[in-house]
């Protein structure tokens, strides 16, 4: 599956959802999660993310492994999102800030 990682937190640009052929993105307050059982590994979303927050599980940076379980767990409790919306207001300021996990809202 593809995995949404740390740099999505507090940015949530949502460009990714528009291209997903199986609509497997789920939306929290300041992060999106991919349901790994629904993702068909098409790779279309990866280049769409302005924050470069999406990785194939095979190419996931080592320090992002916690996001495998987080994507699974959060995708099961959050609502589906299929249409792009405005990014969070201060997305540009948070884009590139490291280790935003403490800011993840559930
Ligand atoms: Fe959707 Fe394809 Fe991205 Fe998986 S890899 S989340 S199927 S766009
Ligand atoms: Fe997040 Fe990138 Fe999608 S910031 S909402 S993974 S476009």
Give this complex's ipTM.
Answer: 0.99
Q: Is the CB of 88 under 6 A from ligand 2?
A: no
What ligand has the least distance to the C-alpha of 22?
A: 1
Q: How do residues 65-77 score in pLDDT, each as one tens digit? A: 999 999 999 999 9
Q: How do residues 9-62 score in pLDDT, each as one tens digit? A: 999 999 999 999 999 999 999 999 999 999 999 999 999 999 999 999 999 999
Residue 41 pLDDT:
98
Token readout for 100 is 């935003």
Q: Which strand (E) or helix (H) includes residue 54?
A: strand 54-56
Rounded CA gap, 22 and 6, in Å? 23
Enumerate domains of the chain plus CATH numbers: 2-82 (3.30.70.20)
What Cα–Cα distance (Å) separates residue 92 from each residue in 3, 8, 43, 101?
21, 11, 24, 17
Q: How do residues 81-102 score in pLDDT, each as one tens digit? A: 999 999 999 999 999 999 999 9
Residue 58 pLDDT:
98
The binding-site residues of ligand 1, defined as CB within 6 angstroms of any ligand atom, are 2, 19-20, 22, 24, 34, 39-45
């Amino acid at each position: 599956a593809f995995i949404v990682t740390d740099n999505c937190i507090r940015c949530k640009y949502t460009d990714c959802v528009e291209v997903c052929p199986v609509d497997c993105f789920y939306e929290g307050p300041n992060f999106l999660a991919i349901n790994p059982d629904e993702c068909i590994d098409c790779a279309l979303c990866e280049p769409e993310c302005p924050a470069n927050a999406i990785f194939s599980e095979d190419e996931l940076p080592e320090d992002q492994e916690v996001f495998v379980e987080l994507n699974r767990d959060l995708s099961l409790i959050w609502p589906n999102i299929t249409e792009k919306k405005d990014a969070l207001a201060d997305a540009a300021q948070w884009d590139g800030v490291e280790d935003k996990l403490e800011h993840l809202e559930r």
